[in-house]
Amino acid sequence: MINNYNLLKQSINLGGVTIKNRIVSSPISTNMATEDGSVTENLINYFSNIAANDIGMVTVGATSVSEEGGDASNGMHIGKNIHLNGLTKLASSINEQGSTAAIQIFHVGAQGNTFYSKKRVVGPSKYIVPDIGIEAEVLSIDEIIKIENEFCEGVIQAFDSGFKIVEMHLGHGYLLHEFMSAHMNRREDEYGGSKENRLKIVKNIFNKIEKKSKHAIKNIGARISADDFIEKGLDLIENKELINFLDSKKIAYYSVTAGIYETAKQKYLKMKEGSYWEYANNLKKMTQTPIIAQGNITSLELGEMILRKNMSDMIGMAQALIADPALASKSFKGEEEKIIPCLAHLKVGTCHRCRYLKQKDLSFECITPSSWDKNKSHNSSKNKKESFLKMLEKLKDNIANEKLENIEKIQKNFIDNI
């Protein structure tokens, strides 16, 4: 039976912006900027390609507001004059495709890695990510105030550049999350101790933005944690005061996520189970602000089901759109059989090529032939096809029943359409 995706095709208002449909390209980082964090042609080509394929909102991810705030040496940065021109070109390239350009801003905080970023690692308190092993330097009050101002400057520059929505990253154990978490914040001054004090940095940032531009807040979304999977961490109950504050500011939306670096295994297990959609549903019961559900949404059929059950107002997709940027366009045309899936969705742990922090050269790539290819050469395309088919064949040895039939179907459709 043909799925018309009637709910996904509906427009929605986020703050003062009308989004043409309910599909979001969730924020991802590609480590393809220059060393000073400026936008490159590869970044423009990558995100505009996604925007050209019936995506309502395309979110550029993990854009650092501070010099030491990125997770790798070629991550995007925002806030300085040198960044304005490139950001303007990037936002324009997305908006011109009929999608809405959004950008996520963040500071990596104590989860940073000097080996990757070449910068100092800082946080609210001394803290070591077990898998990284670098102790974070404790931020002084003056440094905290500087970072608050940098977040404010980043938001203003994002809107000046033509981005219509800005997402504030308050999850995944990054700096703002760290301040709010009793697990990571052990300060005894005005930025630590009580829940009110731990929320201070976030409240200060939003209040400073409001002073700069009264109309900016309504076009700011927030990514928040539904569960850190660790004692004294954050969850939706612990985040109630944060949610009340953001609701009072009338922000644009919430995007729901979970986990920190320490609890990555639990995070991916819960994502595989579809728990993230339940998190979105639980948050939807706590607020009138629109909710974006994401995490292992591998098809528009799943997305339509989530909206039909009223678990969220929009759906976000990341790996599925990395693997096949035309997923939505193909689905809307009734050509779902032509979609090439993310291999990690077929079997968890199969492929990590898009997770650049796991690669020796920190490069961002995808093995599927339908994915964006920065090389654009005949040999590159041929190699990707051969590698993809070999990987599918290898998967067949470890998968049975319905999933095996699915892989064989993918192989046949792929070969038939070469």
pLDDT digits (tens, 9 = 90+) for 221-260: 999 999 999 999 999 999 999 999 999 999 999 999 999 9
Hey, which residues does 105 pair with through a beta bridge? Answer: 63, 168
Domain ranges of the chain: 12-333, 340-418
| Cβ count near 313 (within 10 Å) | 21
| Cβ count near 188 (within 10 Å) | 9
What is the β-pairing status of strands 220-225 and 165-169? Answer: parallel
Mean pLDDT estimate for the chain:
91
- Res 2: pLDDT: 55
- Rounded Cα distance between 322 and 287, Å, is 31
The stretches in the chain having pLDDT less than 50 are: 1, 411, 414-415, 418
Instruction: Provide the 3-class DSSP secondary structure of residue 334.
Output: coil
- Rounded Cα distance between 114 and 70, Å, is 10
Q: Which pair of tokens denotes residue 391? A: 């990987």
Annotation: CATH topology of 12-333: TIM Barrel (3.20.20)
68 contacts 117 by C-beta, under 8 angstroms: yes
- Res 377: pLDDT: 52
Which helix (H) or strand (E) segment holds residue 91: the answer is helix 81-95
Residues 26-53: tens digit of each pLDDT: 999 899 999 999 999 999 999 999 999 9
- Res 1: pLDDT: 41
- Looking at residue 357, the DSSP 8-state letter turns out to be G
Predicted model pTM:
0.92
Which whole-number Å values give the CA distances from 247 to 171, 242, 280, 299, 416, in the listed order?
A: 17, 8, 16, 31, 51
- Res 418: pLDDT: 43
- Rounded Cα distance between 151 and 140, Å, is 17
Q: Which pair of tokens denotes residue 187? A: 């300060």
Question: Of 256, 258, 300, whose CA–CA distance to 281 is shortest?
Answer: 256
276 contacts 293 by C-beta, under 8 angstroms: yes
Residue type at 69 in one-letter notation: G
Instruction: Provide the 3-class DSSP secondary structure of residue 41.
Output: helix
Go through the chain and tell me how many residues it has: 418
Residue 267 has phi, psi (to 5 degrees) of -60, -50
- Res 402: pLDDT: 53
